[in-house]
Chains A and B, each alone.
Chain A
Amino acid sequence: MMSDRGTLILRVYCGAVLVFLSMPIVVAVGVAFGEDRIARFPPTGFSLHWFSAALSDATFLGALINSLELATLTTVIAVLIGLPAAIALVRRRFPAQPTLEAFLLSPLSLPGVLFGVSMLFFLGATRFGLTWWGLLAAHVVIAVPYVLRATLAVYRGLDRGLEEAALVLGAGPWQAFWHVTLPLLRPGLAAGGLFAFLISFDNVPVSIFLTTARNNTLPVTIMSYLVSQDFDAIIGAISAAQVGIVFVLLYLLDRIYGVARLTSFGA
């Protein structure tokens, strides 16, 4: 009897947490599909009008494309830095190893606002100025730790004997990397890469200092819209689109490297 009641309480509790977590998203997405411009929940009627309004707004559309480009390139560069760094940290022995690892992961513990301001001063002092490339560099710095951490975790759990076996079997160092190390690290790279993309895609605290009217990112554009206007259905539509993009990415990742496949490696 007690266990039945316990189960019931647990279910209610879990349900409440899920509602609490998803309600803001439900509200934002719901508003986007309503007929009123003024945010109203539950929405009245059903319309896709605000999506077309958002997409025909050059400011929002430009920001969305900019953010997607920025996040994609950030992810690629973060992987190109994080993967070799993980290999060096796991397979090589050198004195500064712990220091280097802590340094590469340090952006995780640095407040975003602080880093954004510092970057702003840095770009000014070095006369690079506020360019898209400066913004990209800043995003790469905060994205690398996510790629590195996920890759390190997978690599550290990988039996070194696998790479050694490949070498003994006649594979050169590059062949061993391409055919054994890389496929086995792929789950870590995929997870880290996804995080890198998302970190860049919805970053505000760093981007807000480094963007200009010409290269505004989507989150910064939403922020400034909210400051000058009010929360309305256009913002709802933009938010829904952003949630949709993230959801599609997560879904694809799960289909390609499902949780079951991730855990079956190395067993």
Chain B
Amino acid sequence: MTEGRRTVDVELRGLCKRYGFVAAVEALDLRIEPGQFVALLGPSGCGKTTTLRAIAGLVRPDAGEVLVGGRVMNDVPVHRRRLGLVAQNYALFPHMTVLENVTFGLRMRGAMPADIERRAQEALATVQLTGMESRYPRQLSGGQQQRVALARCLVVEPDVLLLDEPLGALDKKLRERMQVELKSLQRHVGITTIFVTHDQEEALTMSDRVAVMHQGRLQQVGTPQEIYEAPKNRFVADFVGVCNFLECRVAGREKETVLLSLEDGTFVRAAVLAGTAVPPAGTRVVLAVRPEKVAIDAARAERSGGLRARLENLVYLGTAIHFHVRTAAGARIIAYRQNDVMLPVGLHPGAEVDLGWDPASARLLIE
């Protein structure tokens, strides 16, 4: 299926869509490289589905442009956009068999009957549904329906594949299997893919790049690692994974690290990313640090510059232990610890603990 396929890029320029007074999508700029798998990630109502539907042509943008392969698509009707769409409920035609569903696009485009048959069989083989041709959608399981939907849109060799939470209706086990299948299928076909999801784990594991959206605006675009390790703002840090936030003020700068003062007067450090301006001393900022980056130890007699806190709760998960602690200033912090070494003595609820982290793994967020 890969031979002769052209891979195209998708570009959104200043995309806007309002419903009444509510902006569903606001001034969205996004470029998706040919052949990439990009997730639009965000909570429900963040505008990710509206964005996808605008690319498909099912929603008319109020402003801005949708470009596919360098061509402005705004005035191209839906059926001439050469796209593939898999909706959350798959939208299989209930009055058609699996084969009729899969051949629908080819028949509508007036392909030759011999060609239709051959390509449909190829597509069904790709999604491992050979032999199911004469079944009706209602006779298939959720996973099979999803594969029919995929075969139905891949068979017409679309330029771009649009997936709107296609795994949302599946149970957890099947969902994880389909994540792997979908990703390897996409790599095999080499098609530019835009994937809408509210599941951050799914976005991280499947995508080449993740675009995080919130309240109609793009928050950050980057590789899964960039999104997780270097979130640009509090929303991204909070939505993707678990994150601790500490309100503090800039106290000064020491080489590559910023010195920050907490409310109770203790000082903590965070790295300064290359090319980032450090705000002047006294500016209110937020420090973000992931739970797995926080080292926790029983409090020592002499303080070594860490953060003193009290252990409130301890959650034992088998492979890991989660420590819930509270600082003297009242901030809650969670620390994860792999269960690979002996648990230090003195880590029990109510105990005084010292928290510390490598400044390189703490992020400074300017509100």
Whether B79 pairs with A171 at a CB distance below 8 angstroms is yes
CA distance A122 to B217 in the complex (A): 60
Given A172-B79, A184-B95, A265-B94, are A166 and B104 neighbors across the interface (CB < 8 Å)? yes
A183: chain B residues at CB < 8 Å are 95
Indicate if B84 sits at the interface (CB-CB under 8 A): yes
CB pair A267 B91 closer than 8 Å: no
* Complexed CA–CA distance, A164 and B104 (Å): 13
Chain A contact residue count (CB 8 A cutoff):
23
- Asked if A14 is at the interface (CB within 8 A of a chain B CB), the reply is no
Report the minimum CB–CB distance from A160 to chain B (whole Å). Answer: 9
Chain B positions within 8 Å of A176 at CB level? 79
Tell me, yes or no, whether A230 is within 8 Å of chain B by CB. Answer: no
Give the complex CA separation of A165 and B84 in angstroms. Answer: 9
B77 surroundings in chain A (CB, below 8 A): 167, 172
- Chain A positions 216 through 234: 1 when the CB is less than 8 Å from some CB of chain B, otherwise 0: 0000000000000000000
Q: What sequence of 0s and 1s flags, for each residue 45-71 of chain B, a beta carbon within 8 Å of any chain A beta carbon?
A: 000000000001110000000000000
CB of B91 within 8 A of CB of A266, answer no
What residue in chain A is nearest B138 (Cβ atoms)?
A267
A267: chain B residues at CB < 8 Å are 94, 138
Q: How far is the CA of A164 from the CA of B108 in the complex (A)?
A: 14
Chain A residues contacting B94 (CB-CB under 8 Å) are: 162, 184, 264-267
Contact B156 A169 (CB under 8 A): yes
134-189 of chain B: CB within 8 A of chain A: 138, 152-153, 156
Residues of A within 8 A of B79 (CB): 167-173, 175-176
Decide: B104 and A171 in contact? CB cutoff 8 A.
yes
Shortest distance from the beta carbon of A224 to any chain B beta carbon, whole Å? 47
The tally of CB-CB contacts under 8 A between chains A and B is 74
Main SS class of interface, A:
helix
| Chain A contacts for B109, CB-based, 8 A | 170
**Given the contacts A170-B105, A179-B104, A165 and B87 also touching, CB distance less than 8 Å:** yes
User: Given A159-B89, A179-B108, are A168 and B56 neighbors across the interface (CB < 8 Å)?
Assistant: yes
| Residue A161 interfacial (CB < 8 Å) | yes
In the docked arrangement, what's the CA distance between A175 and B107, Å? 10
Return chain A residues, CB-CB under 8 Å to B82. 170
Given known A159-B89, A161-B89, A179-B108, contact A168–B95 (CB-CB < 8 A): no
Q: Which residue of B lies closest to A265 (CB)?
A: B94
Interface hits, A56-90 → B, CB 8 Å = none
Q: Is A123 an interface residue (CB 8 A)?
A: no
Docked-complex contact B87 and A161, CB < 8 angstroms: yes
| Bound complex: CA A197 to CA B248 (Å) | 78
The residue in chain A whose Cβ has the minimal distance to the Cβ of B56 is: A168
Residues 87-144 of B at the A interface (beta carbon under 8 Å): 87, 89, 91, 93-95, 104-105, 108-109, 138
Residues of A within 8 A of B365 (CB): none
B250 at the interface (CB under 8 A from A): no
A54 in contact (CB, < 8 A): no
Q: Within 8 Å of chain B (Cβ to Cβ): is A246? A: no
The reply to whether B85 and A168 form a contact with Cβ atoms under 8 Å apart is: yes
Task: Pick the contact of B108: A162, A171, A266 (CB < 8 A).
Answer: A171
Most buried by A among B58, B83, B91, B104: B91
Interface membership of A199, Cβ < 8 A: no
**Which residues in chain B, 201-258, are within 8 Å of chain A measured between CB atoms?**
none
Tell me the bound Cα distance from A168 to B162 in angstroms: 10
Is A264 touching B91 in the complex (CB atoms < 8 A)?
no
A175 near B108 with CB under 8 A, answer: yes
Give the interface of B toward A (CB within 8 A). Answer: 56-58, 77-85, 87, 89, 91, 93-95, 104-105, 108-109, 138, 152-153, 156
Can you list 24 pairs linking A and B with CB atoms under 8 Å apart?
Answer: A164-B58, A164-B78, A164-B85, A164-B87, A164-B91, A165-B85, A165-B93, A166-B104, A168-B56, A168-B153, A169-B105, A169-B108, A170-B79, A170-B80, A170-B109, A170-B156, A171-B79, A171-B104, A172-B77, A176-B79, A179-B104, A264-B94, A265-B95, A267-B138
Q: Knowing that A171-B108, A179-B104, A266-B94 are A-B contacts, what are 15 other residue pairs whose CB atoms are under 8 Å apart, sorted by A's residue number?
A: A161-B89, A166-B93, A167-B77, A167-B79, A168-B78, A169-B105, A169-B108, A170-B80, A170-B108, A172-B77, A183-B95, A184-B95, A264-B94, A264-B138, A265-B95
